[in-house]
Amino acid sequence: MDTAESATTVKKNSKFKQSLINFFTDLYKINQFILRFFREAFVPPFELKEIVRQCFEVGVRSFTLISVTGFIVGVIFTKQSRPSLSEFGAQSWLPSLVSIAIMRALAPLVTALIASGKVGSSIGAELGSMRVTEQIDAMEVSGTKPFKFLVCTRVLATTLTIPILSTYTGLIAILGGYLNVSQNEGTSWSAFIQQVFEPLTFVDFVASLIKSIVFGFTIGIVGCYQGYNSTKGTEGVGKAANGAVVTAMFLVFIEEIIIVQITSWFR
């Protein structure tokens, strides 16, 4: 019995040890991948045409979903906040509350989560499929740099486009909030807009922008890492797409916490 127990313990320890080794190996590989991006992305020749095409792809892929979601978030958030403010007779604070919540947190977060699902998975699947069908190898043996053409362009595209989409989400959500407020409180557009921008500071805009840039970079780099390094045929493509979404969403939440903490020191 003792021997069996000790064998199980040894097996568990070795499994744990292997998991730990795998974790640090992955961390090292991701680190190398990110460093390679910075080494190659800002050195000529630049694939400007492909970057523009990818920006367009990222924007188009997420536009409809972001528009609908942004609008609904604005309406729902306003609607759900009203009862609490009504208890203190403070419905007039609704526009300020909506703008602070949306611009500081909801717009970048909602945009990043939607883009993780739509764009991240698409990048992971596309590059994964290119890897398993040897298209990436074909680029490499023809004297071109697949990392620069496939990875750098996509990461730059998400990093540039997510802040734009995030700003758009914010505006659409505020519009949703306005429609709800004007219907219930009869607030005019100009009064609403004035109250929306009154509580927002320069730090809010900068923090929101930085957050979106970080989220965009994360979605791009995670999607590309998963796809570029995918293996095991079609199963690997599915894993790459899934891994891109799950990892990017998880990292977005972690980054949200860290950035909120850092920006709170400047307020």
Partner 1 sequence: MKKTQTQADHSNPVISIRGLKKAFQDYAVLRGIDLDLYQGENLVVLGRSGTGKSVLIKIISGLLKPDAGEITVLGHNMEQITEKELQELRVRIGFSFQNSALYDSMTVRKNLEFPLVRNRKGITRAEINTAVETVLDAVGLSQTINQMPSELSGGQRKRIGIARTLILNPEVMLYDEPTAGLDPITCIEINDLINEVQQRYNTSSIIITHDLTCAKQTGDRIAMLLDGQFQRTGTFDEVFDTDDSRVKPFYDYNFIH
Judged by the rule CB under 8 A, the positions of this chain that interact with partner 1 are: 126, 129-130, 133-135, 137-145
**40 near 145, Cβ under 8 Å?**
yes
State the minimum distance, in angstroms, from the CB of residue 45 to partner 1: 8
Nearer to partner 1, 47 or 204 (CB): 47
State the minimum distance, in angstroms, from the CB of residue 56 to partner 1: 14
Nearer to partner 1, 129 or 212 (CB): 129
State the minimum distance, in angstroms, from the CB of residue 116 to partner 1: 22
- Which tokens hold the place of 91? 């419905």
State the minimum distance, in angstroms, from the CB of residue 164 to partner 1: 24
Q: What is the DSSP secondary-structure string of 185-216?
A: H---HHHHHHHHHSS--HHHHHHHHHHHHHHH
State the minimum distance, in angstroms, from the CB of residue 140 to partner 1: 7
Nearer to partner 1, 60 or 138 (CB): 138
Nearer to partner 1, 135 or 182 (CB): 135
Nearer to partner 1, 12 or 29 (CB): 29
State the minimum distance, in angstroms, from the CB of residue 170 to partner 1: 32
Cα(189)–Cα(164) distance, integer angstroms: 24
Nearer to partner 1, 139 or 193 (CB): 139
Nearer to partner 1, 83 or 143 (CB): 143
State the minimum distance, in angstroms, from the CB of residue 221 to partner 1: 21
